[in-house]
Amino acid sequence: MSHKVVFLERDSIKANVRRPGFAHEWAEYASTTADQVVERLQGASVVLINKTQLRAEVLAQLPDLRMIGVAATGYDCVDITACRQLGIAVANIRNYAIHTVPEHSFALILALRRNILAYRQDVEAGLWQKATNFCFFTHDIADLSGSTLGIIGEGAIGQATAAIGRAFGMRVLFADHAPPKVPGVEFTPFEQVLAESDVLSLHCPLTPATRNLIGIEQLRRMKRSALLINTARGGLVDEAALIQALDEGLIAGAGFDVLTSEPPRNGHPLLELRRPNFILTPHVAWASNEAMQFLADQLIDNVEAWQKGNPQHLVT
């Protein structure tokens, strides 16, 4: 049996994507808008997506579709209930970002903890050149050693982030859900993690239960010296509450790689935050060259495993 395989978002991966090793017809598009999905997937048995929305009303118009390969770990763009009802397999990517996302998280943490952006602005403004001493102290600098790292999410990325934190000499607390948990991960109540963390880093999926997990009440419970880091999903944090918290000094700073709406358009409030204690990067924590190639290879591995009747990494 020959399959039609369609990749709707080829430009979302900057890596070599090999063709599946079975008889197939291949079609790919740099990007795809919502009104193009049904037309482009006519006759397709396999679709490869990243963030394209595949909801029940769309899936109902694709009778030939049998497998969805998501080129990401998060699969909230797919209606999983509808896929179960229609007999469509859904596979995601596992463990591809266990180095790149934790490293990006700590790039944000270190930049904020040591006020790198603020000091760079001072140098660019000529303040160092005017100093009478060999250095000047216009912003606080704090070590990571001896501080507390709170992590929401006990998966591979959360655990890899914890390992880096421990290497810096940080005390690590995990708050996700009550036991049973991953072996070796001790549960700490969410409220305790909020209160004790010097850095709170989010590494959990976006689900109805975790949407707006961090709102103004949670931000009020954090230390005023604490940092909030989000390299997971934008919807985990109430963005209006974050702005309020930064304006009122409820937390010391925040580093985000994700927003609720992506790509953001002009007028998005977090785009307007021109302050050294807030860093926003354009959803690139996952995107090291090594991680993207690993992802691209596993994406096709998942399709080939499904075609052979031994599916892997299924979420349905």
| Longest CA–CA separation in the chain, Å | 78
262 flagged as catalytic: yes
Residue 240 pLDDT > 70: yes
Q: What sign does the CA torsion over 73, 19, 99, 237 have?
A: negative
What are the start-end ranges of the E strands in 231-273? 253-256
28 flagged as catalytic: no
The CATH class given to the 100-280 domain equals alpha beta
Q: Counting beta carbons within 10 angstroms of the beta carbon of residue 259, is it exposed (0 to 12), middle (13 to 18) or buried (19 or more)?
A: buried
Residue 181 binned pLDDT confidence (cut-offs 50, 70, 90): low
CA angle 80–81–86, rounded 5-degree value: 95
Q: Which of these is catalytic: 262, 272, 275, 290?
A: 262
- CB environment 162-172: b (16+ within 10 A), e (fewer): bebbeebebeb
Domains 3-96+290-307 and 100-280 agree in fold: yes
The domain spans of the chain are: 3-96+290-307, 100-280
Residue 127 binned pLDDT confidence (cut-offs 50, 70, 90): very high
Residue 74 binned pLDDT confidence (cut-offs 50, 70, 90): confident
Q: Which of these is catalytic: 3, 40, 104, 233?
A: 233
What are the start-end ranges of the E strands in 186-248? 199-202, 227-230
283 flagged as catalytic: yes
With residue 290 as reference, give the H or E element that holds it.
Answer: helix 289-307
Q: What is the CA radius of gyration of the chain?
A: 22
Q: Which of these is catalytic: 104, 113, 203, 283?
A: 283
Instruction: Give pLDDT, residue 267.
Output: 83
Instruction: Give pLDDT, residue 249.
Output: 97
pLDDT tens digits, one per residue of 143-167: 999 999 999 998 889 999 999 999 9
Bigger pLDDT: 287 or 177?
287
Euclidean distance between CA atoms 302 and 261, whole angstroms: 28
Please state whether the predicted TM-score (pTM) of the whole model is above 0.75.
Answer: yes
Give the pLDDT mean for 193-207. Answer: 95
Superfamily of domain 3-96+290-307: NAD(P)-binding Rossmann-like Domain (3.40.50.720)
pLDDT tens digits, one per residue of 88-117: 999 999 999 999 999 999 999 999 999 999
